[in-house]
Amino acid sequence: MRLSQAHLSAANALVQPNENNKNAKVGIVHLGFGAFHRAHQALITDTVIKEIGGNWKIVGVTWSDAGLQKELIAQDSLYSVGVGYNDQLDINIVGSIETVLMSAQTEQVLSYMCDPEVKIVSLTVTEKGYCHNPATGDLDLSHPLIQHDLENIDTPKSAIGFLVSAMRCRYLKGIQPFTPLTCDNLPENGHVLEKVVLQFAKHLDAELYQWIKEQITFPCTMVDRIVPRTTENDIARVEKVLGLEDKASVITEPFLQWVIEDKFVNERPAWEKTSIANVEVTDNVVPFEEMKLRLLNGTHSTMAYLGYLSGYETIAETIQDPNFKTFVRYLMDEEITPSLSIEGIDLDKYKDQLIERYENKGLQHRTWQIAMDGTQKIPQRFLQTICYSLNNGISIKGLCLALAGWIRYVSGVNEQGQEIDVQDPLKQQLAQVWQQAGSDLEKALDGFLSLRSVFEQDLATNQTFRVELQAALETLFANGAKASVASFVAQRK
């Protein structure tokens, strides 16, 4: 039997939808309706509806996953979240979704976004969804989607275009604005979103720009939960425990955290008042963001590039290598932690917890998946920490090895001479750098450091950084990733 309202009584789940779910109306539109949102914000909002009530049903918008839309329609918009730790799997059924729309269903999406009852439009569109220059934070006006949306604001294609189009609609009709709530892995993500939205609006309509600037706030958030891409094996595993087939299920880890800046222009769910731990509303999210982006995301990307090159398919497999485990902890303690300033958090405990999360064999988080879109991630995961270290006399050797791992990875050929399926918005540019350089590593490095959307001028021309990165790159090509990590660890014993 398939998961649906009719078959709920047959489901073997810890938590199921209740009357509050059935009676709730739409209050949120979410752009970027993927696995992470389903295992994080949608789950937490579902808990609010179940435990407290309120009209906080979610309309999900996806840019590419027509299959997910179809599966959820067949399941009355119900799906399950499997919380896995090694061999254990607990199931919750989520009932906070009203419907899922494709972004191409523009009229329906904008109709919801312009509805006065919608108080929040949240986003998990990944770093590349902001159509910006990651190094500067400025809107990329040459981006094809942005160019289209500026000319066709009533039929937008980008997340930024959808936001501004809906804001314009509410402005013209005198409707109270919604709060745009970004939940993507960007430092000061609310400020990033505000900057690109205002720059877009300024090019579109000066009066609209002024209204947005005066009337709308953009809270920052920090989100944390490891959510791998769902596989057929995951779906089978959920079905075995749940007792029902669920083709929209997601698998995640027990850990969850959400820190939200208390800066809303309209009503919001009482996310922090449910039974779910680690949801916090605060006046300053930035220290939490930096902690997570640098410690978790930074070491995740390190294992993605160097682990993949070493032949490891998943994070759990990578961290089982004692040298990788030692290397990751070294990075955390010696090269990343000095750049952090956060009160009320036991960083040693947090780092211990990260290692434990990485070791969870219940999650098959592929190194290849985390390695995607490196040009959008590298600035906040590696380069900001490196800049701090250069200015404060802290070693950058380990981070340069990780960064060299990315450069080696995007060459598109692994250490066995086999093709790597590189997924990146700048894939062609990256391939061109390697094509022009051939086997000349110094020339390749020149090409990479000239990418201004990744490396700012001051860092790219810093000789200490250049020397360390070139040495790491030469080591990788000479010895391979696995041996390079082992040698790095051995030299520090």
Task: Give the C-alpha separation, 112 to 480, whole Å.
Answer: 52
Helix (H, G, I), strand (E, B) or coil at 207: helix
Give the closest residue to 435 by CA, choosing from 420, 447, 417. 447
Residue written as token pair 């390695």: 371
Q: Which tokens sit at 213?
A: 């600037």
Phi–psi pair at 33, nearest 5 degrees? -80, 80
Cross-strand partners of 250: 81
Give CA angle at 377 (261, 379), nearest 5°: 90
217 contacts 180 by C-beta, under 8 angstroms: no
Half-sphere exposure of 351 (CA within 13 A, CB side): 19
Task: Give the C-alpha separation, 227 to 114, whole Å.
Answer: 31
Task: Give the C-alpha separation, 159 to 164, whole Å.
Answer: 9
CATH of domain 286-491: 1.10.1040.10
Read off the pTM: 0.90
444 contacts 437 by C-beta, under 8 angstroms: yes
Q: What is the pLDDT along the chain (493 residues), one digit of tens a residue?
A: 999 999 999 999 888 999 999 999 999 999 999 999 999 999 999 999 999 999 999 999 999 888 999 999 999 999 999 999 888 999 999 999 999 999 999 999 999 999 999 999 999 999 999 999 988 899 999 999 999 999 999 999 999 999 999 999 999 999 999 999 999 999 899 999 999 999 999 999 999 999 999 999 999 999 999 999 999 999 999 999 999 999 999 999 999 999 999 999 999 999 999 999 999 999 999 999 999 999 999 999 999 999 999 999 999 999 999 999 999 999 999 999 999 998 888 999 999 999 999 999 988 899 999 999 999 999 999 999 999 999 999 999 999 999 999 999 999 999 999 999 999 999 999 999 999 999 999 999 999 999 999 999 999 999 999 999 999 999 999 999 999 999 999 999 7
Supply the pLDDT for residue 443.
97
H helices within 292-440, ranges in order? 298-302, 308-309, 315-319, 322-330, 347-358, 367-370, 374-378, 384-392, 397-409, 427-437
Supply the pLDDT for residue 390.
98
Residue written as token pair 């039929």: 155
Residue written as token pair 């709920």: 8
Supply the pLDDT for residue 343.
85
Give CA angle at 105 (372, 145), nearest 5°: 50
Element (H, E) at 90: strand 88-94
Say how many Å lie between the first and final Cα of the chain, rounded: 57
Q: Which tokens sit at 87?
A: 């061999």
Domain map (residue ranges) of the chain: 5-282, 286-491
Domain 5-282: CATH superfamily is: NAD(P)-binding Rossmann-like Domain (3.40.50.720)
Supply the pLDDT for residue 135.
86
Distance of CA 67 to the CA centre of its chain: 21
Supply the pLDDT for residue 488.
98
333 contacts 304 by C-beta, under 8 angstroms: no
H helices within 292-383, ranges in order? 298-302, 308-309, 315-319, 322-330, 347-358, 367-370, 374-378
Element (H, E) at 182: strand 179-182
361 contacts 314 by C-beta, under 8 angstroms: no
Supply the pLDDT for residue 364.
87
